[in-house]
Amino acid sequence: MRWRKDAACRASSPDLFFPVGTVGHALTEIESAKAVCAGCGVREACLEFAVLTNQEFGVWGGTSEEERRRLRQAHRGKVFVS
């Protein structure tokens, strides 16, 4: 996980990336976290880590919990080689 030292989110509060809920203020926090991810040079590595380690909570690699859930469902049973 060497990519973490280069992550754009290092300068942000972790709370921003782990909002409570998925409505109201939490949606605003999710969008704010995704905005940080949008300009991050290690976004793909972060998302890969989140998917491979089944991170169920928070914003990782510019994706929400629900978006990663859908990714896992869409790719269930497929093997990826990097």
Q: What is the pLDDT of residue 22?
A: 82
Tokens representing 8 are: 């754009």
Q: What is the pLDDT of residue 4?
A: 95
Q: Which residues of 17-55 are buried (b: 16+ CB within 10 A; e: fewer)?
A: bebeeeeeeeeebbeebbebbeebebbebbbbbbbeeeb
User: If you search the block for the tokens 């976290």, which residue do you land on?
Assistant: 33
pLDDT tens digits, 16-59: 999 998 889 999 999 999 999 999 999 999 999 999 999 999 99
For the chain, domain boundaries = 2-74
pLDDT at residue 81 greater than cutoff 80: no
Query: What confidence tier does 72 reach under pLDDT thresholds 50, 70, 90?
Result: confident
Q: What is the pLDDT of residue 1?
A: 82
Please tell me what DSSP assigns to residue 82: -
- What pTM, to 2 d.p., does this model score? 0.85
